[in-house]
Amino acid sequence: MSAPTTEPVAGATTAGATAAGRGPGLLRTAWGFGRTRVGAVLAGIVVLVAALGPFTAPYTPTEFIGLPYQTDVDGAVFGTDNLAATC
């Protein structure tokens, strides 16, 4: 005797299944949660700040802006360190 086989009924689909027979993808499922959207927005803000930061910085990363250990330098709230860079 052979084991009984189960075949899908023609035209019947399960909830959320696509035409290919698979359920919704991982990203589509995750996007349905509010916390995923919040995380995506926060990550986008971080990337945007990192991309626009060099265009808004008053000095280059290697520029000396004052003497070492000076406290009254414009643009350096905490003064300068031993390399005359901002702290």
Check whether 73 has a pLDDT greater than 60. yes
User: How far, rounded to the nearest angstrom, does the alpha carbon of residue 41 sit from its chain's CA centroid?
Assistant: 7
In a domain, 7, yes or no: no
58: left (phi over 0), alpha (psi -120 to 50) or beta: alpha
Do 50 and 64 lie in a common domain?
A: no
Residues of the domain holding 42: 26-56
Residues 3-37: tens digit of each pLDDT: 666 665 555 555 555 566 788 899 899 999 999 99
Check whether 75 has a pLDDT greater than 80. no
In a domain, 73, yes or no: yes
pTM comes to: 0.51
Q: For position 81, what pLDDT does the model report?
A: 79
Do 63 and 87 lie in a common domain?
A: yes
Query: What is the total count of domains within the chain?
Result: 2
In a domain, 19, yes or no: no
Q: For position 15, what pLDDT does the model report?
A: 55
